[in-house]
Amino acid sequence: MANRAPFEFGEWYHCFSRGVDKRDVFENEYDAERFLMILYSANGTESVGLYNIEKPELKKVFETDRGKPIVAIGGYCLMPNHYHLLLKEVVDGGISSFMRKVGIAYTLYFNAKNERMGNLFVRPFRSRHIGTDRYFQRVLQYIHSNPAELYEPGWKSGNVRDIRALEKKIREYPYSSLKNYTEKRITNPILARDGFDIADQPTLRRMLEDARTYYGEVSRDGFER
């Protein structure tokens, strides 16, 4: 299923992709951090080349001038072989441009590091339109619940052995934006804070319920993680 429908200005979308042949695309901590750097640097009107920054790290990249954002990022989660992004179009063509820049920049980095050639992510990336605030929350819970797969593989079927241990692991997962919703003192320049409410967070049980519901909808549409 291709997803080439135009993105509407001011609307939220769940955008995601995985590695070709379901291969891991984040092999270590720095890979994940590099992708987070790209999420920031690619989201702007000014060109930011991470190769021009000596020993690039998140703090240094966050201090660079990227111009005005071309998308609003409402949430994200990186998993070993795929990623999820919650994006809003704030300029015409912003999502398509942003996703293209992210894919190219990270693939160039990953291929150079691993001496490989060719596409790294499945193309085209997938997307689903988010039409209501309630649906926004459901998708956000799904994105933030993704790390459950690493600790409780049966969570999508409702089988969780230790809900308290799982909650702790999900909340401590370093490559999602969940902490920015649960701990307001944490700032994250990657995220746009306008346009969504971070005040009330559901329990993990509610998060997983919403996530399972959304996962079922995505699966019926033929989308894959």
Percent of the chain topping pLDDT 70: 88
Task: For 58-87, give the DSSP string.
Answer: HHHHHTS---S-SEEEEEEEEETTEEEEEE
pTM of the shown model: 0.90
Give the range among 149-153, 207-211, 214-218 with minimum mean pLDDT. Answer: 214-218
- Structural contact between residues 198 and 181, judged by C-beta atoms closer than 8 angstroms: yes
- In the chain the domains, ranked by start, together with CATH numbers, are 12-127 (3.30.70.1290), 133-185+196-219 (no CATH)
**pLDDT digits 0-9 by tens, 89-144:** 999 999 999 999 999 999 999 999 999 999 999 999 999 999 888 889 889 999 99
Q: What is the spatial distance between Cα 218 and Cα 23, in angstroms, rounded to a whole number?
A: 21
State the pLDDT at residue 70: 96
Region 148-167: mean pLDDT is: 89
Supply the DSSP symbol for 137. H
**pLDDT digits 0-9 by tens, 34-85:** 999 999 999 999 888 786 666 778 888 898 899 999 999 999 999 999 999 9
State the pLDDT at residue 56: 78
Among 194, 196, 201, 190, smallest CA distance to 73 is for: 190
Using CA of residue 184, residue 188, residue 191, residue 193, what is the dihedral sign?
positive
Among 118, 110, 121, smallest CA distance to 84 is for: 121
State the pLDDT at residue 149: 92
